[in-house]
A and B are shown apart, each in its own frame.
Chain A
Amino acid sequence: MNSAFIINFARFFLLLFAQIIIFNNIDLFGYVNPYPYILFIILYPVNGNKPMLILLSFLLGITMDLFSNSGGVHAASCLILAYSRPYIFKFSFGLSYEYQTVRINDVLTPERFSFLLLAVTVHHFSLFILEVFQLTSLWDILLRTIVGTLFTLLICIVIIYIFKPSRR
């Protein structure tokens, strides 16, 4: 329990810091920022404590909001991602995912890729709906979601490959 706890703790703060210091300042095409801080929610142990994950996601999101003056936008979308995570697992890895040892931070397989893609899309879509907050600019929401998702996905995969735990 202890090593997993420390890894999660470190991940929480490192991803948050990297997000605020580096990734929030990228501004690709003037409006696209990647949000790889959600890797914390994605990489949280599959059989970990669920209420804990929800609470931590809220803290993660509200800290992001604190830094970006956005009300509760990040908190809400992080919560939605954390809550829908088991369903995405079920979709990507099949019904029996809880009995397998599913690892996300490993070599990219189609299952893992589909999980990442779905998780990032869920988060970004809810994020941009809440951030733009008017349905007349639906195209803008969709455009931001698509471009942002691709960008975040790329950064997430790179980060996973860099910090991939060495095998044996």
Chain B
Amino acid sequence: MQQIFNFIFKNSSRLLFLLLLLVSLVLTIQSHSFHKSKVISSANFLSGGVYERINRISEYLNLQTQNEILAIENARLKSLLFNIKDSTLVPKIDSINGVDKVNIIVSKVIHNSYNVYENYITINSGEKEGVKSDMGVINSAGIIGIVDRTSQNYATIVSILNRKSQINAKIKKTNHFGSLIWDGKSTGFVQLIDVPRLAAIRKGDTIVTGGQSVIFPENINIGTIDKIFIDNQTNYYTLNVKLFNDMTNLGHVYIIKSKNREEIINLEKETKNE
């Protein structure tokens, strides 16, 4: 017994090092694995609060461009509103059943990272406002990412500039589907993989979100085709997509709350179980 205590006491710093190294390596591996939210995230009162204070100051430097973006979006929405066929009708986002399918929560980016392979964005709305994980996040120019973790007042978003992100997308013109991923090379470009070779595509075609995911509504802008690569082994295209969004400069964002999401997920789960 005495010897055990002596050993522990003598090697206390080494043992402490190994223990803590193990803890941090577990956290690291966990953060790199797919489909696993992290234990340590910036959606907490400490880092969220600090980032919100920092953002309150840096926001002023960015005010003019953000105003311009909002003004452009207002103009676009106004033009939609004025050109609607019957101006007495309030425009519905999806009017098949006369009921709209999505709610929108407005929020603000308080921290944005884009210089590593796994980038996350922190926003200043959380569970209080009804934000839950796996909700889609967009802004006026296009998609931004998917909500990862939430706290009372903050939430983190898996940016589309994250190797773990994989989003269903399609070519607007031909309706061919693919998966949107990021290779980690440039903040202005993402990749659309697994597009069938049958698709007639050209440089400059628009890529939008597909209807297969329950996270994003269909036809939200993503970007345009910049380069087309052909994979010889499989019969698929890999496309380099130039984003509409400048992911290095984000201000206000919209969180999409799909009303039918849980119903769809439950239904699919039941079908699978049978």
Contact = CB atoms under 8 A, between A and B. Distances in A.
A67 B52 CA distance: 12
Interface residues of A, number: 35
Interface stretch (A36-44, A99-107, A126-134): A126-134
A65 B27 contact: yes
Contacts of A75: 20, 23-24, 27
Interface stretch (B9-17, B168-176, B207-215): B9-17
Nearest to B157: A69
A79 interface: yes
Nearest to A31: B115
A51 interface: yes
Interface stretch (B39-47, B96-104, B195-203, B266-274): B39-47
A132 B113 CA distance: 15
Contacts of B237: none
Contact of B27 (A50, A71, A82, A133): A71
Interface stretch (B28-36, B62-70, B139-147, B217-225): B28-36
Contacts of A33: 115
Contact of A71 (B30, B54, B248): B30
B7 to A, nearest CB: 15
Interface of A: 20-21, 27, 30-33, 50-51, 53-55, 58, 61-62, 65-73, 75-76, 79-80, 82-83, 130-133, 137
9 contacts: A20-B54, A30-B114, A55-B16, A65-B40, A66-B41, A70-B28, A71-B32, A72-B26, A76-B21
Contacts of A80: 21
A74 B246 CA distance: 28
A77 B96 CA distance: 55
Contacts of A27: 114-115
Interface string B175-186: 000000000100
Contacts of A131: 116-117
B236 to A, nearest CB: 21
A133 B28 CA distance: 9
A73 B117 CA distance: 13
A54 B27 contact: no
Given A72-B23, A75-B20, A133-B28, 11 more contacts: A54-B20, A55-B20, A62-B40, A66-B44, A68-B42, A69-B122, A70-B28, A71-B38, A72-B26, A72-B28, A131-B117
A39 B261 CA distance: 49
Contacts of A83: 13-14, 17, 21
B187 interface: yes
Contact of B40 (A58, A71, A133): A71
B25 interface: yes
Contacts of B115: 27, 30-33
Interface of B: 12-14, 16-17, 20-21, 23-32, 38, 40-42, 44, 46-47, 50-51, 54, 113-118, 120, 122, 156, 184, 187, 248
Query: Would you call the interface of chain B mostly helix, strand, loop, or mixed?
Result: helix
A132 B44 CA distance: 25
Contact of A66 (B16, B32, B40, B54): B40
Q: 10 closest A-B pairs (Cβ-Cβ)?
A: A71-B31, A72-B27, A72-B24, A75-B24, A69-B120, A76-B24, A50-B13, A31-B115, A72-B28, A71-B28
A65 B51 CA distance: 14
Contacts of B114: 27, 30
A141 B22 CA distance: 22
Contacts of B117: 131-133
Contacts of A32: 115
A75 B31 CA distance: 13
B32 A69 contact: no
A33 B31 CA distance: 21
Given A30-B115, A58-B24, A79-B21, A72 B40 contact: yes
Contacts of A54: 13, 16-17, 20
Contact of B24 (A21, A30, A53, A79): A79
Nearest to A82: B17
